[in-house]
Amino acid sequence: MAAGVSIATVSNVVNGTKPATPAVQRRVLSAIERLGYLPDLHARTLRTGASRSLGLVVPDLTNPYFPALVQAIETTARDLGFVLIVMDAGNDAERETEALALLASYRVAGVVWVPVEHERSLDWPYPIVTVDRTVPGCDTVVADHGQGGALIGRHALALGHRRIGLLSGPRALPSAADRRSAFLDAVAGHAEIAWELPVPFSSDLPREVVARLAEPDCSLVVCANDAVAVGVLRAARDAGLRVPDDLSVIGFDDVPWADFVEPGLTTVRQPLAALGRNAVSTLHARIADPGRPLHHETLPVTLVERRSAMPVTPPPTGVRP
Amino acid sequence: MAAGVSIATVSNVVNGTKPATPAVQRRVLSAIERLGYLPDLHARTLRTGASRSLGLVVPDLTNPYFPALVQAIETTARDLGFVLIVMDAGNDAERETEALALLASYRVAGVVWVPVEHERSLDWPYPIVTVDRTVPGCDTVVADHGQGGALIGRHALALGHRRIGLLSGPRALPSAADRRSAFLDAVAGHAEIAWELPVPFSSDLPREVVARLAEPDCSLVVCANDAVAVGVLRAARDAGLRVPDDLSVIGFDDVPWADFVEPGLTTVRQPLAALGRNAVSTLHARIADPGRPLHHETLPVTLVERRSAMPVTPPPTGVRP
DNA sequence: AACGACAGGTTAAACGTTTAACCGTCCTTG
DNA sequence: CAAGGACGGTTAAACGTTTAACCTGTCGTT
């Protein structure tokens, strides 16, 4: 090499594998500096078999849920010495499979996966940790959707709501189902479900839903999502209803603009950053010890109270005390 | 190899480099299938010197501007046969430099870069295309901020606004400066700038600004950003002002929730997807031909009219016709 | 019948690392 | 003073590809 020293020695000083004479160290380091040498990570990976890259596959980056998650994942991955290869599945299962295969070819050390759909039989040559969804045989980090549902239920009760409308999300989605049933359990016996309608995660509510909203027979509507909560806000306004005076609404997710709509949405916040951090540390642990027992972790969520849900002040239709 | 054939032959059939007998093809392909063989891209890159990965460095993924951009970049990169290594600089110049160095070690074929700060002298061993900011010596794809400013100016005039407040963004940011001066040019001689205040890109407006907003001496305030526009909406509401009846406001960016606030923000939309697509195709072209002349591309923006800016109906203070 | 061209296959070198094995020197030590 | 470690360095093999060079039949041409 240009430092008048062998290649192996260079390797040893850059990695500190073997001790070297100060003089040699200086020479090597200065030559590196001078030539702008950077080790070739491909060659390194090829030789050692230990890849320093992680994959991340998400259904749709533009979902407001993801940016904070991705950021946390990338940051902690890099702090652990890994590089993150990100792939957007475009909500398409086929494209998702391609992504996973491509990552296999790239010999990633592991992948963080947010599956577009539930259930999929697969065996990939790398460890996987799933986030927010669970796949058999994979480590998992999820938010406690059940707790979220319960939190909402208890809050609704505490605010004095006794007749509640429920806009539940896609029935097939486990997280939405968890939310729903925990909520139902929490209010059971204390409040009445005026009606329940399943809606997609969108601000564009089905016609029948906005019709129902126009003449509410409840004091609160609990929404599957912040997106649908925004739809409710809009429908209420169009119907001349004031939120929260005439109608309270509660969302889920705490999207970045939950505080920007009028009134600010009371909602449940998922610990996105923690989810991301723990996902990659879980993955890291599994990479270090492939034989360790399966790890399922569920992180607490928090209720964030804003102005869209308030106590029922004039008793809705005060029948009995 | 397990197909009773040499390694080289396998390479030839998977890449179609050299013709092979149908029988051999079948044997190889079936062996590949059977063993679940996937080529090692590290080895491939090492040997050919042609990396199939691109880097992406952004200041802060949680900025609502980025998700759509990143998605477009990832998608078109993958369609071109590249894999995307994403890095978040956390708005920190130092971390950004680390990111660029790490990408160099990874021998990426090129990188798409949205610099956290303007101006930086550097020479990296890969081609770079910058997005939304320009760096000397790099290919560039930007939105036409000047056009955006002009669009706003003309729209304001068309709506009949004659006294306008201006909340301009960080002076040091070229894009914000372009917007501002084009806007000023567009309205010059036809409308009066009641006041101008530089503010950071945030919904939390400085105290003095909300004070000024409380007693507006203008019919329209033009904001540096959708974020600050939201701040203005909020301040106006707190001051008992109705938007757009008492005051019109115009933003910039068309963030995902611009249509969710009340009233919907009229603003300028940047062609995020096109920006991303063109960035990687520009990069691709440069990779194919390192000697081609520098390519600077600026993409048109569009005005999206919603309800936060309306014609002045009662002439503001009708002095002369 | 002899030869050349060519198609289809193999061998071996090379990419840039890491690492085990090896080899001098010098210092210590019995 | 001879022998034996440490210590600091070098050599060479190996990782999984690609690719140039090479080999070997087969076939078509004269």
Residue B156 lies inside a defined structural domain of this protein: yes
* CB nearest B203 (choices: A84, A260, A261): A260
pLDDT at B320 over 50: no
Residue type, A90: G
> What order of strands is seen across the sheet that includes strand B139-143?
A296-299, A139-143, A128-131, A110-113, A53-58, A83-88, B83-88, B53-58, B110-113, B128-131, B139-143, B296-299
Looking at chain A from residue 104 to 143, which residues have their Cβ under 8 Å from any Cβ of chain B?
104-107, 125
Residue A24 lies inside a defined structural domain of this protein: yes
pLDDT at A316 over 80: no
* CB nearest B42 (choices: A74, A107, A255): A107
Judge if B93 and B209 occupy the same domain: no
Is the Cβ of A10 closer than 8 Å to some Cβ of chain B? no
Residue A126 lies inside a defined structural domain of this protein: yes
| Cβ pairs bridging A and B (under 8 Å) | 137
pLDDT confidence tier of residue B1, bands split at 50, 70 and 90: low
pLDDT score of B319: 45
Judge if A115 and A34 occupy the same domain: no
Condensed to tens digits (0 to 9), the pLDDT of residues A172-182 reads: 889 999 999 99
Judge if B118 and B213 occupy the same domain: no
Q: How many Å separate Cα A246 from the centre of its chain? A: 33
pLDDT at B257 over 50: yes
Looking at chain B from residue 201 to 240, which residues have their Cβ under 8 Å from any Cβ of chain A?
203, 230, 233, 237
Average pLDDT rounded to a whole number, residues A150-170: 97
Q: B255 to chain A: which residues are within 8 Å by CB?
A: 257
Residue B319 lies inside a defined structural domain of this protein: no
Judge if B169 and B266 occupy the same domain: yes
Determine, for residues B107 and A74 on separate chains, whether the beta-carbon distance falls below 8 Å. Answer: no
Full domain range(s) for residue B253:
145-270
What percentage of residues in chain A have a pLDDT greater than 90? 86
Q: Are A159 and A248 in contact (CB under 8 A)?
A: yes
Judge if B139 and B279 occupy the same domain: yes
Average pLDDT rounded to a whole number, residues B188-197: 96
CB-to-strand C contacts below 7 angstroms: A 7-8, 11-12, 14-15, 17, 37-40, 43-44, 46-48; B 5-9, 12, 18-21, 23-24, 43, 46-47, 49
Residue A165 lies inside a defined structural domain of this protein: yes
DSSP secondary structure letters along B185-227: HHHTTTSEEEEEEE--SSSS--HHHHHHHHS-SSSEEEESSHH
Strand D bases, protein C-beta under 7 A: 7-12, 14-20
Condensed to tens digits (0 to 9), the pLDDT of residues A251-280 reads: 999 999 999 998 999 999 999 999 999 999
Average pLDDT rounded to a whole number, residues A297-317: 87
pLDDT at B309 over 90: yes
pLDDT score of B215: 85
Judge if A244 and A99 occupy the same domain: no
* CB nearest B41 (choices: A36, A66, A105): A105
pLDDT at B304 over 90: yes
CATH of the domain at B151: 3.40.50.2300
Q: How far is A90 from chain B (nearest CA, A)?
A: 8
Judge if A242 and A180 occupy the same domain: yes
Residue A321 lies inside a defined structural domain of this protein: no
pLDDT score of B321: 42
What percentage of residues in chain A have a pLDDT greater than 70? 96
Residue written as tokens 């050692």? A48
Is the Cβ of B94 closer than 8 Å to some Cβ of chain A? no
Give ∠ CA B268-B273-B277 in degrees, rounded to 5. 135
Judge if B11 and B81 occupy the same domain: no
Residue B1 lies inside a defined structural domain of this protein: no
Judge if B201 and B251 occupy the same domain: yes
pLDDT score of B119: 63
DSSP helix/strand/coil, B75: helix
The domain total for chain B is 3
pLDDT confidence tier of residue A218, bands split at 50, 70 and 90: very high
Q: How far is it, in rounded angstroms, from Cα A81 to Cα A15?
A: 14
Condensed to tens digits (0 to 9), the pLDDT of residues A104-146 reads: 999 999 999 999 876 666 789 999 999 999 898 999 999 999 9
Determine, for residues B38 and A230 on separate chains, whether the beta-carbon distance falls below 8 Å. Answer: no
Condensed to tens digits (0 to 9), the pLDDT of residues B88-117 reads: 999 999 999 999 999 999 999 999 999 987
Q: How far is A230 from chain B (nearest CA, A)?
A: 7
Judge if B178 and B87 occupy the same domain: no
pLDDT score of A319: 45
Is the Cβ of A88 closer than 8 Å to some Cβ of chain B? yes
Q: How far is A319 from chain B (nearest CA, A)?
A: 35
Instruction: Give me B230's structure tokens.
Output: 């939201």
- Any residues with CB less than 8 A from the CB of A296 and at least 6 apart, and which? A134, A139, A140, A142
Condensed to tens digits (0 to 9), the pLDDT of residues B285-301 reads: 999 999 999 999 999 99
Judge if A134 and A174 occupy the same domain: no
Question: From the CA of A21, how many Å to the C1' of D1?
Answer: 29
Judge if B246 and B258 occupy the same domain: yes
Condensed to tens digits (0 to 9), the pLDDT of residues B204-227 reads: 999 999 999 988 889 999 999 999
Measured from the Cβ of residue B306, the count of other Cβ atoms closer than 10 Å reads: 18
DSSP secondary structure letters along A171-184: TT-HHHHHHHHHHH
Residue A1 lies inside a defined structural domain of this protein: no
pLDDT at A190 over 90: yes
Q: B38 to chain A: which residues are within 8 Å by CB?
A: 101, 104-105, 125
Looking at chain B from residue 276 to 295, which residues have their Cβ under 8 Å from any Cβ of chain A?
none
Q: Are B57 and B128 in contact (CB under 8 A)?
A: no
pLDDT at B318 over 80: no
Q: B74 to chain A: which residues are within 8 Å by CB?
A: 61, 86-88
